[in-house]
Each structure stands twice: as structure tokens, then as C-alpha cells.
Structure 1
């Protein structure tokens, strides 16, 4: 097993939930501490309060991965006699780093919203509110004919040429390449100062933007030429859409009242609020963890019968009622599903990498509301 530092842990996490998925206003990333220390234990939590930090100290955790950022607005000063200042001081004194994955974890496939949709037993799940899609690129690289097969294999292994359910897709055309090595060159083919003509293949592959650097490095390392000729083109096509919320269907229609009871049990809440006729039959469900008031129209555009989300305000509830969109509000804290989901992902990912680190699920209940 390999000892690892915080950078290696977070690099692994961000392969699943990259920061580029986050909304522009969202302060995701490292909030407290540093990532260049060895990490033996990682605590997974929804929120970071003093009780969670005390739990991390007791269990010997060096890193906390949280959903809600502990520092949401920029700080002008840190006074350690305030609750927030005391929390920051305690983390620093005990060498505990804190990393937040907020809307990026909401958007990530398998993240908060997919976990909620799964808890509700939804089928045919899709994105409710698209927020990001990456451009596709085409790489065209010229290579001597006798080296083309090996280069195509390298490109395929790096992820280029994957289209739908097919891998290793490429197109090849043959032509003549011309070049003259100048003084200082170390040509693979030809001589310095002499024009050279070589039968070459033009290999074309498509690839998503996030792996462009990886594919380029693999191509350069495998290409026989000292200075390969290649081009990248941005295509009109996009990769799959990523976004906030999910929309899916129940296996069978049910009345809103019955569905609300399903939500209450599945998401483990003591109470919830509903908007709409309790006898209305519902089947198509939109779900968004956290605060979803401003997304009622997105849910309606997707044809949802009911929108499951938290922090519904009075006027948004009235608007939803007018547009015949039922609401089930189980609160904000249902995002606690991320504790189990993130822990499961990180345990498997670290095990596959051979990382010597233990993942700990926080047992602190950070729900601020009490129901009477």
C-alpha cells in the first residue's frame, strides 16, 4: 500500500467531481490547510462545524471532504474568539485540511442529485438543468506509414476516438510529407540540409476537451518524429450535457400524498412540506438537492409532475401551484446522502490505486432544524 498526500487524494476525487463543474459563484476547493502533507484518514461530511472537527481530531483524520463550503464569503480577518475563527484555528492547530465540493458534486454523474434520484427509485434519469457541456476536438496528426498502426493504438488507449459505444475510431488518408532538417536537428528520417519526402498517413481522431492534454502528451511521446506535424480543430458537436438536478420516472404512477410518504421514508426526514392536490397522480419526478426555488420553471419545462427540493419559499410555492407543479420539500439536509456516496466512491478509488488511507463517514448530525 502506498502512503499518499492530500494532493493525491483530491486529484483522485476531482477525476469524478472536477471543479470546472461548479457554478461560477461557488467557492469550491481547498478552504483550510494544505494538501502536501501525508493523509492517513479522510472524514466525509455534509457540513463542517466544530463538532465535526472535534470528531475528525478524535478519529485521527488529516483531511475533511465536505459538501458545503465552510468559508462561503471572503474573510477580511480571522478572529479566533468567534465561532468561525475558532473552527479555523482548531483545524490549523491539529493539521486538518478542509476541502469543499459543492455544486460540482451536485452536477457530477453519481453525485448528490443522482444519489437522491436513486433513493427515490427513479428510472430513465436525465439532467434537469444543463449547465455545462464540453466541446469535441479533432486531432489530425501526420505519421510515417510504417508507424501509423502503433500510433493509432496509443491514441485509442489515451481515450481518443471514443464515439458512443465504439472505441478506437479513426480516419486515415495517405499523402506525401516534405521537410528539410536544419542545423541542430536530430531527424528520425532524412539528413540535415537535404529535402526529404516521406509517405505519411494523416490520422484523424475525435476527443473530448478534458482529455486533450492527456492525448497530446501520449501522441508526442509515441510519435517517431522529433517535431511531429499535427492540428487540433474545435468541432460544433458537444459531449454529453452535465447539469443540476435530475428528472426521472416512477415505476408506476402514485398519488402525491403517497409519493410524499415515499420521499419522507427514503430520505429519512421527520417531516416535509407539499404543494398541490394530495390526490393528484404523479409519475415524472424532478429532484434537486439543496435550495431549488429558482428552478421550478426548469422542472416544469422537463414535464415534471412534482419537484422534490429544499428551502422552497412562499412566493415560489405559489408560482409552482399556479403552473400545476406539485412540490415536495424535505429540507436542505437531505444532501446528507453524499456522505455514504462519496465514502463509497473514495474507498473503491483508493483501493484500486493501492492508497494506504482510511475513509471515515462523519456521524455528526448537522441538521440545524428540530421538528416539534
Structure 2
């Protein structure tokens, strides 16, 4: 299988789950170990990086691991190879396996951990539970000859402009006449030096997130036939649809808390879970956050959730939730393993579209530290 540079793979990944989505201070995301400046043909996707996972990567001939939980969460004061953690890093380096971590940015990303959990729970009419990121929009208006207008709209859409909510290729066009006079030294697409020119043009308007400005302008300028394109660019007060942690939505049909808990156990593939609340109560509105959701219990309550599905709930947090009438289903932290299949499917699709011959492999190593008796 032909390999591609590791940077190219991660650039594609970050177009879906950019680092700017990270919502935890000093979240150690990005390249953690090794280098991306090498040829990669196989990528192992895992929740955690353990010795068994690294052995799995070696056995499968993987040059890169994409993990959800960062392998170096706390800054190292030393790198010793006479302890298990240091030996893990040594094994990765000796086998030239790079590790890239996507933590809270993958939690937030559309289609990331929290959407995958919401999918598994069958939630409909869902929205973000805790907004953590928003971005201003910009508008570009470019003037172009009629004959090139459709090509320009396609180029701008491909670059990412004109995406509004669940719609893309959005633009507005106004027809008119452009006027100019060619000066000495110019190399005009239309007209002659010293002559006034009038031509039928279209004004194409598109919106896009502020962070995409350079990419959109570059695409527009490269596709424009004029030597000196005329265009307007200005910021808008409106914001991009917010991104954030968690999701809240509804079940297709109401059910008892006990029925829902049993459903969660099956859908999230856990041997046991903890439940807070009256098992006979009827529930339908569900909030979910992958990992440790202790900080968001009140957020779920204020959002009107009947049940909050999350992991690592503390004793006193559970008591407070019960007093305030919020049911909780705690299936543990490890349910974030849904990202393994989700990332493999998403990245395989994106690489196929880009004609990048990369094989993404789902880790089969069980990294749940808890045993249930």
C-alpha cells in the first residue's frame, strides 16, 4: 500500500476535529510522541495508549496511533525507562510509532464522541448541552465575468464557503455590468490598453467562518480569470453555529428509567452501570456527556433533562442530583470507546474522498481498568 506523509493525515483529521475546539485548559492534544514527518500507511485508532495497544500497533505494522486519551497528560519531569510508563514511551520510539491525541476537541467536534454517544442512545431533536466555542462569520463578495461564475461558486463551496447549518453551496448572485480602463503595463483578461471596457459580470456573495478567511481568499484568487480581481470582504455580527460539550435530545418514545438504563447497558456495551432516581419514573429527555460529567449535572438539570448519562459521578454529586429531581445513569468513563469505530469510519471516508490510501484499524484491546464481579 502506498504511504502518505503523516502531516497530511492529521491535517485532514483536524479539518474535522480542529484543536481550537479543545475546551480544557492546557489540554495536551496534538502530536504527543514521535514525528508526523514520515510516510504512513496504517493508523491504529484507540481510546487509550497502553502496552497492549502498542503491541497491537506493532503487530499490525502501524506507523501512527490516534488516541482519545493523551498518553502524556501531566508534564514529565524525567523520562526513565526503568518504570512501566517510561518503557511504554521507549517502545513507541524504538518502533517509530507516533501518537497523536484528540481529547476534548474530539468531544466537541460534530460527529465526535458526544454525537456518537447520542447516536448510540437513539436521541432525536438534539442540540449542544454546554456551548464552549463560537466564531464570527465573514462575507465575501466577488465580481466575475458571467462565463466564470458557476466555476467560482463551485470553487468557493469546495473551499468551505457557503455552509450554513445543514446546508452547503449557499451563495447569492446579482447580475450587473463591470467597468474599467486598462492601463499601460497590464496584462488584461478582457479589454485593450487605454480602452474603457464594459462587461457583463456577476457579484457572488458567500459567508464563511473567520478562521477560513485565508483559505477562501486563496481559492478565489487562484480561480479568478482577472489579473486584478475586484472583491469586498467584511466581518459579520452573526456567529457560526456554536460547538460544545455534550448533547441533549429526546428518545423516540418515553419509557421508565429502569427500561432506559437497561437499554443504555446494551447500547453502550457495558457489564454494569449505576442509576440515580426512581426506576419507575417516566423519562424521555436525555442529556449525555462522555467521560467525567460531574461538573455538568446542574447544566443538564437546567436544560430540562429527565436523565443525565455520564461517567465517574461522585457520591455527593449523586445525592444532590437526586434531591433536585435529576435521574442519572452512569455507565462509566470507558463508554468513550465509541470513538474508535467512529474515527475509523470518518477518517476512512475522508481519505477515500481525497484518494489517500490509508488503512485505519480499530483497536481491539480492552482498556477498561475496572473489573465487575
State the TM-score, normalized to the length of structure 2. Answer: 0.90
Runs of 4+ in structure 1 off by over 6 angstroms are none
| 1:11 aligns to 2:3 (yes or no) | no
The residue that corresponds to 1:39 in the other structure is 40
Paired residues of 1:140 and 1:202 also in contact (CA < 8 A): no
- Please report how far the alpha carbon of residue 58 of structure 1 lies from its aligned counterpart in structure 2 after TM superposition: 1.9
Residue-pair matches, total: 370
Q: Output the CA distance in 2 between the equivalents of 1:149 and 1:12.
A: 27
Alignment root-mean-square deviation, CA: 2.5
Q: Which piece of structure 1 moves more, 221-230 or 235-244?
A: 221-230
Does structure 1 conserve the Cα–Cα contact (< 8 Å) formed by 2:154 and 2:169? no
Preserved contact between residue 247 and residue 284 of structure 1 (Cα < 8 Å): yes
Gaps spanning 5+ residues in structure 2: where? none
Q: Distance between the aligned counterparts of 2:342 and 2:208, measured in 1?
A: 26
Q: Tell me the SS of whatever aligns to 1:15.
A: helix
Contact 2:157 2:168 in 1 (8 A): no
Name the structure 1 match of 2:273. Answer: 272
The answer on whether the counterparts of 1:308 and 1:329 sit within 8 Å (CA) in structure 2 is: yes
Distance 2:302 2:184 in 1: 62
For 1:203, what is the secondary structure of its paired residue?
A: strand
- How far did residue 2 of structure 1 move? 4.3
Structure 2 CA distance for partners of 1:176 and 1:254, relative to 1, 3 Å: closer
Equivalence map 1:286-325=2 (5 Å): 286-325=287-326
Q: Provide closer, same or farther for how the CA distance between residues 161 and 331 of structure 1 changes in structure 2, counting only shifts above 3 A.
A: closer
The alpha carbon displacement at 1:283 in A equals 0.7
Give the Å deviation of 1:175.
5.9
Are residue 117 (structure 1) and residue 126 (structure 2) matched? no
Cα distance change on mapping 1:64 and 1:176 into 2, 3 Å: closer
Per-residue CA shift, 1:45-87, capped at 9, x if unaligned?
A: 1000122112211221111110001111222332222322221
Q: In 2, distance between residues paired with 1:202 and 1:352?
A: 31
Q: Is the 8 A contact 1:311 1:332 kept in 2?
A: yes
1:169 aligned residue: 171
SS at match of 2:9: helix
- Assess if the C-alpha contact under 8 Å between 2:250 and 2:286 holds in 1: yes
TM-superposition CA deviations, 1:184-209 (whole Å, max 9, x none) = x54445677x5956557572412221
- Indicate conservation of the 8 Å contact 2:140/2:205, yes or no: yes
Give the Cα–Cα distance (whole angstroms) in 1 for the partners of residues 14 and 260 of structure 2. 35
Deviation string 1:27-49 (CA, Å, 9 cap, x unpaired) is 21110011121112211110001
Check conservation: 1:181, 1:190, Cα contact below 8 A: no
| 1:21 alignment counterpart | 21
The CA deviation at 1:327 is 0.8
Contact map agreement 1:51 1:364 (CA 8 A) in 2: yes
- Write the mapping of 1:205-216 to structure 2, written as runs, cut at 5 A: 205-209=205-209, 210-216=211-217
What TM-score, normalized to structure 1? Answer: 0.90
Aligned ranges 1:1-372 → 2 under 5 Å: 2-25=2-25, 26-143=27-144, 148=149, 150-163=151-164, 165=167, 167-172=169-174, 174=176, 177-178=179-180, 181=183, 185-188=186-189, 198=198, 201=201, 203-209=203-209, 210-372=211-373
